[in-house]
Structure 1
Amino acid sequence: MSKAFGARLHEAMATHGPLCAGIDPHRALVEAWGLTYDVAGLERFALTCVEAFAGRVAVVKPQSAFFEVFGSRGLVVLERVLAELREAGTLTILDAKRGDIGSTMAAYAQAYLGPDAVAPPDALTVSPYLGYESLRPAIDLAQQNGRGLFVLALTSNPEGAGVQHAVRDGESVAASIVHGARDDNAAARARGELGSIGLVIGATVGTAVTDLGLDLVEAATPVLAPGFGAQGGTVESLAATFGAAQGQVLASSSREILGAGPDPSRLAAQTERVLESLRG
């Protein structure tokens, strides 16, 4: 790709606004749409989302697990979703949270970020809890191929703080992740650009960013903030949580938008309402 992911994400957010629309076809939502919870229902649900979101939002985020439930047939649907969004010019983040060490991490990287990946997303979510450097194969491959990563840093689940706020040698685990991303974004930061190695920080983590002294502006990291809307994240909480870094934040909403289905025009209208709230 001619442009780094960070630069493409910045352009998409400037054009469409700071919203990432999720595609989460879990059983309750699929059935609420009046669809059967099988591969046919999965496909109808996912492609309706593609119709509603493509060209309207900066990023679309399919949740891999809800496709994997259906085995190889579900993955075929996921690959079609990613391919159709790419053809429409809409960026994608595959929410798969992969994380491992050595050759296994390298294989995950090739599967999702490599030049021969079957249906590569523009970015992938990854877990750093085997150590930030365990992600090195994915970090390097993403940057070589113009793709991005979003590294879990501060999650909103109650158990997360026990790990992410833990301190060793005067530095919290979350801070060590931010510093790793900062270092990998150094070249982009020197050019005054947004980096391609982003962070996942929940929209409902409250004062944790400030409490842990995380400088997201200096790190030049895009931030994926799940939990906006139905899960409690608000425009006010985004401002309070991220402060000066709010311009780097991509708010992610799934349930609040998907509850408007199954009609694609209603989904599109609800997406616009969420976008308007973010734009103020």
Structure 2
Amino acid sequence: MTEPFGARLRRATDERGPLCVGIDPHASLLAEWGLDDTVEGLERFSRTVVEAVADRVAVLKPQSAFFERFGSRGIAVLERSVEAARAAGALVVMDAKRGDIGSTMAAYAESFLHKDAPLFSDALTVSPYLGYGSLKPAVDTARENGAGLFVLALTSNPEGSEVQHALRADGRSIGATMLAHLAAENAGEEPLGSFGAVVGATLGDLSSYDLAINGPLLAPGIGAQGATPADLPRVFGAAVRNVLPNVSRGVLRHGPEVGALRASAERFAEEIRAAVAPA
């Protein structure tokens, strides 16, 4: 049986530092690298990022949409990138934010979370806003294959608040409800549960939320969005040990030089490690 994602993630972050580097081949970023906005440019970009950091960072997070826009050839690049990243020792979180019901959610889960799927990833980002119960096919498939999920809970985009901060009849916010569901999924898991939340690093003081879900907290916003590693203890409090900060443009803007990409990723990893280390 495959070791659960949570255990593998804890070991990877202990060994390599708690850093997730995004693979986000925006058209503008391809241009900054001197690459054409083509499948060939996409492949060169992705291959370079994997070569630079997959053997030294804990997690890589490709954004599926930037590959999907090139159709089947783009998906083929994504498949090769996932395979190469995992072969180099990085865990892969597929950022696809899938969310649906019944057989459709099951099909999404089979696509990304089944160990025999071409796009098998160690974890998948999912949206719970058809109701947390709609994620059950993904939860079940993840458990069966040693994979994990990152559920959108408290995202950093301003529009997210109209859903995530809305109050239920019991007075609890939707975001807090999602965190409570995840805590239940992870109950009793050691050293870390496999079902995490996406919680923005730019949100400021989150002390009114119970972030102790015994699972990872994927935290976008470090770097280009304005948050810094030093902000993490203030934002996440006692849960900071389980935070997996995501940095995308802050690292990627140093490409296409492999050495510069590596140096940037290593610098972020060390700054984050220092920020979250026990006092």
Same-fold call, TM cutoff 0.5: yes
- Equivalent position of 1:271 in the other structure: 265
After the TM superposition, which residues 8-87 of structure 1 pair with which residues of structure 2 at under 5 Å, given as runs? 8-87=8-87
- Equivalent position of 2:157 in the other structure: 157
Kept in 1, the 8 Å contact 2:230–2:272? The answer is no
User: How many Å apart are 1:170 and its aligned residue?
Assistant: 1.6
- Equivalent position of 1:183 in the other structure: 184
Counterpart code for 1:198? G
User: How many Å apart are 1:58 and its aligned residue?
Assistant: 0.6
- Equivalent position of 1:173 in the other structure: 174
Distance across 2 between alignment mates of 1:89 and 1:105: 28
User: How many Å apart are 1:87 and its aligned residue?
Assistant: 1.1
Structure 1 residue corresponding to 2:195, chosen from 172, 194, 197: 197
After the TM superposition, which residues 112-261 of structure 1 pair with which residues of structure 2 at under 5 Å, given as runs? 112-168=112-168, 169-188=170-189, 192-207=190-205, 209-211=206-208, 214-217=209-212, 219-261=213-255
User: How many Å apart are 1:85 and its aligned residue?
Assistant: 1.0
Counterpart code for 2:202? T
Kept in 1, the 8 Å contact 2:2–2:145? The answer is no
The TM-score normalised by the length of structure 2 is: 0.96
Unpaired runs of 5+ residues, structure 2, are 275-279
User: How many Å apart are 1:147 and its aligned residue?
Assistant: 0.2
User: How many Å apart are 1:3 and its aligned residue?
Assistant: 1.0
Distance across 2 between alignment mates of 1:144 and 1:193: 18
Distance across 1 between alignment mates of 2:91 and 2:264: 20
Name the count of aligned residue pairs. Answer: 273
Distance across 2 between alignment mates of 1:4 and 1:187: 13
Distance across 1 between alignment mates of 2:99 and 2:35: 33
The TM-score normalised by the length of structure 1 is: 0.95
Matched residue SS, 1:150: strand
User: How many Å apart are 1:117 and its aligned residue?
Assistant: 1.0
Distance across 2 between alignment mates of 1:167 and 1:141: 30
Q: Which runs of 4+ in 1 moved over 6 A?
A: none
Counterpart code for 1:174? G
User: How many Å apart are 1:75 and its aligned residue?
Assistant: 0.3
Distance across 2 between alignment mates of 1:4 and 1:221: 12
User: How many Å apart are 1:2 and its aligned residue?
Assistant: 3.0
Distance across 1 between alignment mates of 2:186 and 2:273: 27
Percentage of matched positions with identical amino acids: 57
Distance across 2 between alignment mates of 1:50 and 1:226: 20
Counterpart code for 2:183? R
Counterpart code for 1:78? L
User: How many Å apart are 1:118 and its aligned residue?
Assistant: 1.2
Counterpart code for 1:210? S
Kept in 1, the 8 Å contact 2:204–2:234? The answer is yes
Matched residue SS, 2:207: helix
Distance across 1 between alignment mates of 2:40 and 2:95: 22
User: How many Å apart are 1:187 and its aligned residue?
Assistant: 3.4
Distance across 2 between alignment mates of 1:127 and 1:143: 18
